Chains A and B, each alone.
Chain A
Amino acid sequence: EDQVTQSPEALRLQEGESSSLNCSYTVSGLRGLFWYRQDPGKGPEFLFTLYSAGEEKEKERLKATLTKKESFLHITAPKPEDSATYLCAVQGNSNTGKLIFGQGTTLQVKP
């Protein structure tokens, strides 16, 4: 069964304290792994797509990496405005367009 597990569930950082969020997945034929940011009461905001092991993408203080079993979202020198829930999702080889989401990591960055 396709599955995504994110850890930790919650993370508290001081401003400037770098860290990583983990996304472990099992999927039949990975077609894409997606990272989203979600603020309370709002829809997820697209961040990155990764398609194959070894791929890396960067955007401002965020860097996403992918291996055959997991993905990491590295946050360098975070700021309070980076506080949000970060969601990881995978799409398998079914032709349904279905995204399978993890439960998310809620990040709080204190000034």
Chain B
Amino acid sequence: DTGVTQSPTHLIKTRGQQVTLRCSPISGHKSVSWYQQVLGQGPQFIFQYYEKEERGRGNFPDRFSARQFPNYSSELNVNALLLGDSALYLCASSFEGGPYEQYFGPGTRLTVT
């Protein structure tokens, strides 16, 4: 079975630019969550989507937005990039949005210069 896939693997952007990260969940999973992981820290929750509806939002500014498509894939958008947005962005999928295991993809490494 194919696990969670994310693209691109690495990305370098300049301050003020916009970026779109993509995620495809495990087949049969209907929920996608996004996390930001800064080096040396645990992942921080950004969003969860279930059945194309936003179920939760973490403590991130409005520059961060996301959406989920009918095939359950998802995009994370970040506008007006700051140096502090440099991090590993992780996508996780789960069967539903409740207390189910979340399975993570390999992540997208974003570097903002």
Contacts and interface: CB of A to CB of B under 8 A. Distances in A.
- Check if A and B associate: yes
Interface of A: 4, 31-32, 34, 36, 41-46, 49, 51, 87, 89, 91, 94-104
Q: Is the interface of B mostly helix, strand, loop or mixed?
A: strand
Contacts of A41: 88, 107, 109
Given A96-B48, A97-B50, A98-B48, A43 B109 contact: no
B17 to A, nearest CB: 23
B98 interface: yes
Contact of A97 (B41, B43, B56, B90): B56
B104 A51 contact: no
Contacts of B4: 43
Interface in B66-87: none
Interface string B82-113: 00000010101010011101111111010000
Contacts of A51: 99
B33 interface: yes
Nearest to B108: A43
